Chain A
Amino acid sequence: MSEHKVFMIFQNTADAQPFISAFAQENSAATLDYQPGMVRIEGLGELGITQAVVSELAGREVNLQELHLTLISLSGNIDEDDDYFRITRH
């Protein structure tokens, strides 16, 4: 099981919130672990978000590369384009 684990870690800030919420909303099996100052989002095999959902949550047009501003760490193989971002491990 754990051999397919992937994770994203964000700062627990207002700027990161649309990303954190999108990960939670778009990955129903994901778990969120809150530590002081940060939150770790963990999944098996894959975690992904779409630009539409992040923008909806932020209430503005978001460029997904803005995640670089609040990302702390990640584990998995990255696949990204204008309208989605995901990390995978199969």
Chain B
Amino acid sequence: MAKKLNMRKRYELLTRGLGWEPTYQPKEKVFAQEAYEGIKITDWSKWEDPFRLTADAYWKYQAEKDKKLYAVMDSFAQNNAHLNLADASYVNALKLFIQGVSPLEYAAHRNFARLARQFSGEGAQIACQMQSIDELRHAQTQIHTISHYNKHFHGMHDPFHMFDRVWYLSVPKSYFDDASAAGPFEFITSVSFSFEYLLTNLLFVPFMSGAAYNGDMATVTFGFSAQSDESRHMTLGLEIIKFLLEQHEDNLPIVQGWIDKHFWRAYRLLGLVAMMQDYFLPESPMSWKEGWQIYFVENAGALFNDLARYGLRMPKYHEIATAEADHISHQVFGIFYNYIHAAAFNLGLPSEAKMNWLSEKYPDTFDKYYRPRMEMWAEMAKEGKRFFNMGLPQLCQVCQIPMGFTEIAKGEPMQVAYRVSEFRGDKFHTCSDGCKDIFDHEPEKYVNAWLPVHQIFQGNCGGATVPDVLAWYHFHPEDGGDYAGSADEARWKAMKGTAASSTAAAKTAPADAA
């Protein structure tokens, strides 16, 4: 009987020597995207896969994951398990997720397919093929899971259309478009390392744990099912960095520049997650700041300590991001409170219990800066003058988030940070040193930005009034506004058999929006 091969040997036999030297066309034409970014690869065979997962094992385990997930989804639907949620306001986190995250999964699917085609090394090709399939699976399972909620709640009916048009969804879209418009090595550094390795834990782990805490077992299951793939993707991110740095010393400054840029871009994008974490979950198992401490400060600290041998340092401005951990969720919430009449989800001022939780989690900042803001808004609302911002915000040219971040690192947390660059005679405004550096490095790229506010003023978004623009977004009038008095709240109460809230008749959008 033949001796059973060990994992290493089996893996090598099944994943190596699968390529060939092209003869009809020169290799650099077949892999036309491999050289132009300046990355030097001398020997693709040095590629080491962190997990020795062969194609047969991959399909077997993925099939099993899907089987489990769809069983949960079926029973969730059969049992009307959405009724077990802690509160329907929780669903707003799912709305932002399906609008802003699932389209990124699909974009990742397309881009990893590109990488699988453009890298000439077989090990990297296989890893990227598997990831491309994973990302498609994530988009599909998220759509399937959330489709159950779409039957009962608003704002989840057309996420892919919204993703291409809506002002706040231009934040995730522009991040991914930026990476997609770059070469394959920059893309993989951006998405696999800066986003997935450094920051994706902050999206999935505390958020899915929060879903569990709030009774949403369907989301927990798709989240953790996706995250089991994510572990593989993260290790791919780490592998690509090590591989590039081992291949040639000239790669170091290029890779460091990409890590700096995409860390900052991905971090800015996660401002939306910070808001979800601290303000959308009726019950929060962990604050944004606690998640940041565990999954970025400790984890990335250990990682970069590990990578120092290659000459790599922590991403630029990481200390600013850490200083901002005390503020960012509150500031992003503030922006959405201003403009919730133009969003496809609901939110509301935090309850007294929630504010006390925020005070406890943010002892240095919440009571001093942000509780007074909530109190002021509550007073205005009580007088029937709920504050809506009836203008349009100034947007950052790079991250496209309304420019509401402040000079925290300079010790002026209530002073909005303004940065500006001049290029070809025009001004370009950015929200931070991080975004300004990104603009200044490649201004030719960022002047192309499709900034939603400016596009509205140019007349490219369905009309001049708020309802015109919202219709062009495919929003329905009941999709946005305050949670109190929303259509979702009324429906939730009807489903639960409790009386509609006394505020149900209150306006959820400003009277003069039309």
Tell me whether B305 and A3 are in contact (CB under 8 A). Answer: yes
Tell me whether B231 and A73 are in contact (CB under 8 A). Answer: yes
Tell me whether A73 and B234 are in contact (CB under 8 A). Answer: yes
Tell me whether B209 and A36 are in contact (CB under 8 A). Answer: yes
- B residues less than 8 Å from A5 (CB atoms): 298-299, 302
Q: Given A5-B302, A38-B224, A73-B231, is A68 in contact with B205 using a C-beta cutoff of 8 Å?
A: no
Tell me whether B303 and A75 are in contact (CB under 8 A). Answer: yes
Tell me whether B230 and A65 are in contact (CB under 8 A). Answer: no
Question: By DSSP majority rule, is chain B's interface helix, strand, loop, or mixed?
Answer: helix
- B residues less than 8 Å from A69 (CB atoms): 61, 64-65, 68, 228
CB closest chain-A residue, reference B308: A3
Tell me whether B302 and A2 are in contact (CB under 8 A). Answer: yes
Tell me whether A82 and B209 are in contact (CB under 8 A). Answer: no
- A residues less than 8 Å from B234 (CB atoms): 73-74
Number of B interface residues, CB 8 Å?
Answer: 41
**Does A77 have its Cβ within 8 Å of any Cβ on chain B?**
yes
**Does A17 have its Cβ within 8 Å of any Cβ on chain B?**
no
Q: How far is the CA of A37 from the CA of B215 in the complex (A)?
A: 10
Q: How far is the CA of A38 from the CA of B205 in the complex (A)?
A: 9
A59 to chain B, nearest CB (A): 19
Interface string of A1-36 (1 = CB under 8 A from B): 011111101010000000000000000000000011
CB interface residues, B 45-70, toward A, < 8 Å: 50-53, 57, 61, 64-65, 68
Contacting residue for A65 out of B57, B213, B302, CB 8 A: B57
Q: How far is the CA of A69 from the CA of B65 in the complex (A)?
A: 6
Q: How far is the CA of A16 from the CA of B454 in the complex (A)?
A: 51
Contacting residue for B224 out of A6, A65, A72, A78, CB 8 A: A72
Tell me whether A36 and B6 are in contact (CB under 8 A). Answer: no
- B residues less than 8 Å from A4 (CB atoms): 302, 305
Tell me whether A9 and B298 are in contact (CB under 8 A). Answer: no
B105 to chain A, nearest CB (A): 17
**Does B174 have its Cβ within 8 Å of any Cβ on chain A?**
no
- A residues less than 8 Å from B118 (CB atoms): none
Tell me whether A73 and B61 are in contact (CB under 8 A). Answer: no
CB closest chain-A residue, reference B51: A78
Number of A interface residues, CB 8 Å?
Answer: 28
**Does A66 have its Cβ within 8 Å of any Cβ on chain B?**
yes
Tell me whether B7 and A80 are in contact (CB under 8 A). Answer: yes
Tell me whether B61 and A37 are in contact (CB under 8 A). Answer: no
**Does A52 have its Cβ within 8 Å of any Cβ on chain B?**
no
Tell me whether A3 and B302 are in contact (CB under 8 A). Answer: yes
- B residues less than 8 Å from A36 (CB atoms): 209-210, 212-213, 285
**Does B301 have its Cβ within 8 Å of any Cβ on chain A?**
yes
CB closest chain-A residue, reference B299: A75
CB interface residues, A 44-76, toward B, < 8 Å: 65-66, 68-75
Q: Given A65-B53, A82-B6, is A71 in contact with B228 using a C-beta cutoff of 8 Å?
A: yes
Tell me whether B302 and A37 are in contact (CB under 8 A). Answer: no
Q: Which residue of A4, A7, A38 has the most chain B CB atoms within 10 A of its CB atom?
A: A38
Tell me whether B7 and A68 are in contact (CB under 8 A). Answer: no
**Does A89 have its Cβ within 8 Å of any Cβ on chain B?**
yes
- A residues less than 8 Å from B209 (CB atoms): 35-38
A and B contact pairs by CB, cutoff 8 A, 9 listed: A2-B301, A36-B212, A68-B61, A69-B65, A74-B231, A77-B238, A78-B51, A82-B7, A89-B305
**B-to-A contact residues, CB < 8 Å:** 6-8, 50-53, 57, 61, 64-65, 68, 201, 204-206, 208-213, 220, 224, 227-228, 230-232, 234-235, 238, 285-286, 298-299, 301-303, 305-306
**A-to-B contact residues, CB < 8 Å:** 2-7, 9, 11, 35-38, 65-66, 68-75, 77-78, 80-82, 89
